[in-house]
């Protein structure tokens, strides 16, 4: 999955104005009649459900809209260049590279069908009819079309989900996602079977919920170690964090603390999100024997704790109900708070 792309966008060049004079029978000194050139096409970024990642953008990297047509005789205006739409997944954030290391937010495409102008086309040149004066009634000059905006844009995909499953390798994330949704991620008895985020849909009584499985985190993931770092950006958009802890682990309390620390080191506000803990593999006899000890160990966290088995289905329904309830509460809180307006940065076109 391609999650981040740097690309160049170029608005279309404006069409040139025309130098032309009326040449009709019985009309002496008809005067200039050269038309204006058409404006260049604009470049838009559009949030679409037809693409799943930024792979198509990554393969092309440079996008140029169509140039405007030149002006015509008899004061005819040139045709405007065709606009260019770049399709990106919902949840893509577009930023402008304003300096060597400086980025300015352009738009957050969080809604299906959202369309944002990223590069404006150049204006068409004026035809010679505009340059006629009392002194110069037959001007042989016309305007060149202006170049379109040329900008370097960064697109970064951050999935918008209701819940995210996070945990260490082999904790059972893929198995749980299969149990609670229609997703069929790769399940195997070795670490890092998940190489990219996998989405599933959990059925609810009133609506469906999108669940993401994030590739396994390891200590140092916030610094780029392991596979998780590349996908931690997707956790930023989720409403509920689901910590999966291995019931076989002898350091289950430490596992939670380290996972939480990795998230906070990546970005501090992640730890402020609602959380739920699921202790996995409770179908195993050695885990069943220590359930009471595990519960007492995790009591200090003051978080909902569920003991589940994706294999036997034990505890999964209760876990589902609580997760759906918590997501519903988060949505109500978000709707009651108005989001601040996002400033849109529009640089002037290059001349």
Q: Which residue has the higher pLDDT, 327 or 28?
A: 327
Task: For residue 341, tell me if it sits in a domain.
Answer: no
Q: Is residue 137 part of a domain?
A: yes
Structural domain tally of the chain?
Answer: 2
* pLDDT higher than 60, residue 192: no
Q: What angle do CA 47, 49, 52 make, to 5 degrees?
A: 95
Give tens-digit pLDDT for 68-77: 999 998 889 9
Q: Is residue 344 part of a domain?
A: no
Query: 229-281, pLDDT tens digit by residue?
Result: 566 777 878 889 999 999 898 889 888 888 888 888 877 777 788 999 999 99
Based on the fold, state whether residues 114 and 263 are members of the same structural domain.
no
pLDDT cut 70: percent of the chain above it:
83
Tell me the pLDDT tens digit for each residue of 74-101.
889 999 999 999 999 888 888 888 766 6
The residue out of 157, 177, 194 marking a domain boundary is 157
3-state secondary structure 171-205: CCHHHHHHHHCCCCCCCCCCCCCCCCCEEEEEECC
User: Which CATH number do you get for residue 271?
Assistant: 3.40.50.300
120-129, 133-142, 266-275, 292-301: segment of lowest average pLDDT: 266-275
Residue 346: pLDDT over 60:
no
From 106, 131, 157, give the residue that closes a domain. 157
Q: Same domain for 75 and 186?
A: no
Query: Which residues are CB-contacts of 62 (< 8 A; sequence separation ≥ 6)?
Result: 7, 8, 9, 10
**Residue range of the domain that includes 133:** 4-157
* Residue that the structure tokens 């002496």 belong to: 28
Taking the C-alpha atoms of residue 248 and residue 312, their distance in angstroms, rounded to an integer, is 16
DSSP annotation string for 28-97: TT--B-PPPPPPPPPEEEEEESS-SSSHHHHHH-EEEPPPPPPP-STTPPPPPPPPEEEEEETTEEEEEE
Q: Is residue 348 part of a domain?
A: no
pLDDT for the residue numbered 344: 47
Residues 129, 23: one domain? yes
Full strand arrangement of the beta sheet holding 198-203: 198-203, 208-213, 163-167, 240-246, 275-280, 305-307
- Domain final residue, candidates 91, 125, 157: 157
Integer Cα distance of 317 and 179 in angstroms: 10
Same domain, 68 and 209: no
Answer yes or no: pTM beyond 0.85.
Answer: no
Same domain, 169 and 307: yes
Are residues 153 and 167 both part of a single domain? Answer: no
The answer as to whether 278 is a domain residue is yes
Q: Is residue 346 part of a domain?
A: no
For residue 16, what pLDDT is reported? 94
On whether residue 113 sits in a domain, the answer given is yes
234 with 294, same domain? Answer: yes
Domain CATH number, residue 39? 2.70.210.12
Whether the pLDDT of residue 305 is over 90: the answer is: yes
Range in 43-47, 120-124, 257-261 the model is least confident about: 257-261
**161 Cβ partners below 8 Å, 6+ apart?**
199, 210, 211, 212, 234, 237, 238, 239
Residues 75 and 144 in one domain: yes
Most confident of the ranges 130-144, 170-184, 213-227: 130-144
Asked, for residue 80, whether it belongs to a domain, the answer is yes
Phi, psi of 85 (to 5 degrees): -110, 125
pLDDT bucket at 330, cuts 50 / 70 / 90: confident
- What torsion, rounded to 10 degrees, do the Cα atoms 276, 281, 282, 283 define? 150
Average of per-residue pLDDT values in the chain: 82
pLDDT of residue 258: 87
Pick 27 or 266 by higher pLDDT.
266
């Amino acid at each position: 999955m391609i999650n981040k792309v740097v690309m160049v966008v170029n608005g279309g060049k404006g069409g040139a104005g025309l130098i032309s004079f009326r040449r009709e029978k019985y009309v002496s000194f008809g005067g200039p009649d050269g038309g204006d050139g058409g404006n260049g096409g604009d470049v838009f970024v559009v949030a679409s459900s037809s693409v799943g990642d930024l792979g198509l953008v990554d393969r092309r990297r440079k996008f140029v809209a169509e140039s405007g047509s030149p002006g015509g005789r008899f004061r005819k205006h040139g045709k405007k260049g065709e606009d260019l739409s770049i399709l990106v997944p919902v949840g893509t954030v577009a930023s402008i590279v304003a300096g060597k290391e400086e980025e300015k937010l352009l738009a957050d495409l969080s809604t299906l069908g959202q369309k944002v102008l990223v590069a404006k086309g150049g204006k068409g040149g004026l035809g010679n009819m505009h340059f006629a004066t009392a002194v110069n009634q037959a001007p042989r000059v016309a305007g060149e079309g202006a170049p379109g905006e040329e900008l370097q844009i960064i697109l970064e995909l951050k999935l918008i989900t209701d819940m995210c499953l996070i945990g260490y390798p082999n904790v059972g994330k893929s198995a749980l996602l299969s149990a609670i949704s229609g997703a069929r991620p790769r399940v195997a008895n070795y670490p890092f079977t998940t190489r990219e985020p996998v989405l599933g849909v959990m059925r609810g009584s009133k609506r469906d919920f999108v669940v993401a499985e994030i590739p396994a985190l390891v200590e140092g993931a916030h610094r780029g170690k392991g596979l998780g770092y590349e996908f931690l950006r997707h956790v930023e958009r989720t409403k509920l964090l689901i910590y999966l802890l291995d019931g076989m682990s002898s350091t289950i309390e430490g596992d939670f603390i380290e996972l939480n620390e990795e998230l906070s080191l990546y970005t501090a506000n992640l730890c402020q999100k609602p959380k739920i803990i699921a202790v996995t593999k409770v179908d195993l006899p050695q885990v069943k024997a220590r359930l009471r000890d595990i519960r007492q160990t995790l009591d200090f966290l003051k978080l909902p704790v569920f003991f589940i088995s994706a294999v036997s289905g034990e505890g999964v329904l209760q876990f589902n109900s609580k997760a759906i309830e918590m997501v519903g509460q988060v949505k109500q809180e978000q709707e009651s708070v108005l989001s601040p307006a996002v400033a849109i940065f529009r640089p002037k076109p290059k001349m």
